[in-house]
């Protein structure tokens, strides 16, 4: 069984951005959450949607998300074993964040000759957009 990350079990240090990102850190967590926005998925359905992830890593990331209360895991007592994953209310509340990441990626990330290339649609000389004051 995976061991909970220290950041998920203690008081969160730092700013709200750091606290939020601690739930999403890990190469596959954001992608897992993106696919679970569609609804409940079985383990092997997730594996097919993430062909580059190993079974061990997918299991580890799913367990960390479950321990954080972001998704729920339902085990059915059948042979072969059936396990469903679904977002909790806390996980659903991340939908605007995940959707914003997906929109940014659609606008700025392209694939050329098998390589991922980031093409920023924004001028680097323009002033950054106004944002609410947050201590980070």
CATH assignment of the domain containing 29: 1.10.10.10
Q: What percent of the chain has pLDDT over 90?
A: 52
What mean pLDDT is predicted for residues 50-62? 94
Name the strand (E) or helix (H) holding 98: helix 95-108
pLDDT digits over 58-71, tens only? 999 999 999 999 99
| Residue 118 belongs to a domain | no
pLDDT digits over 106-118, tens only? 887 777 666 667 6
| Residue 76 belongs to a domain | yes
| Residue 128 belongs to a domain | no
**Residue 131: pLDDT over 80:** no
Longest pairwise C-alpha distance within the chain: 60
pLDDT band at 3 (very low <50, low <70, confident <90, very high): very low
**Residue 132: pLDDT over 70:** no
What mean pLDDT is predicted for residues 9-23? 71
φ, ψ of residue 108 to 5 degrees: the values are: -115, -10
CA end-to-end span of the chain: 34
Cα separation, 25 vs 104, in Å, equals 18
Residue in the block written with tokens 């950041």:
7
**Residue 92: pLDDT over 80:** yes
| Residue 1 belongs to a domain | no
| Residue 102 belongs to a domain | no
Mean pLDDT lowest among 27-31, 90-94, 105-109:
105-109
Domain extent for 58? 6-93
Two tokens, residue 60: 């580890």
User: Against a cut of 0.85, is the pTM above it?
Assistant: no
| Residue 129 belongs to a domain | no
Predicted pLDDT at 87: 97
| Residue 62 belongs to a domain | yes
| Residue 136 belongs to a domain | no
Domains held by the chain: number: 1
Cα separation, 108 vs 11, in Å, equals 35
């Amino acid at each position: 069984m995976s061991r909970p990350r220290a950041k998920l079990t203690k008081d969160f240090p730092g700013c709200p951005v750091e606290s939020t990102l601690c739930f999403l850190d890990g190469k596959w967590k954001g992608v897992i959450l993106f696919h679970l926005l569609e609804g409940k998925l079985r383990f092997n359905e997730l594996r097919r949607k993430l062909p580059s992830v190993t079974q061990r890593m997918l299991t580890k990331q799913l367990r960390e998300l479950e321990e954080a209360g972001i998704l729920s895991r339902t085990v059915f007592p059948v042979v072969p074993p059936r396990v469903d994953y679904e977002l909790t209310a806390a996980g659903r509340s991340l939908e605007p964040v995940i959707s914003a990441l997906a929109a940014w990626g659609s606008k700025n990330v392209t694939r050329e000759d098998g390589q991922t290339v980031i093409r920023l649609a924004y001028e680097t000389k323009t002033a950054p957009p106004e944002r609410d004051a947050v201590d980070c």
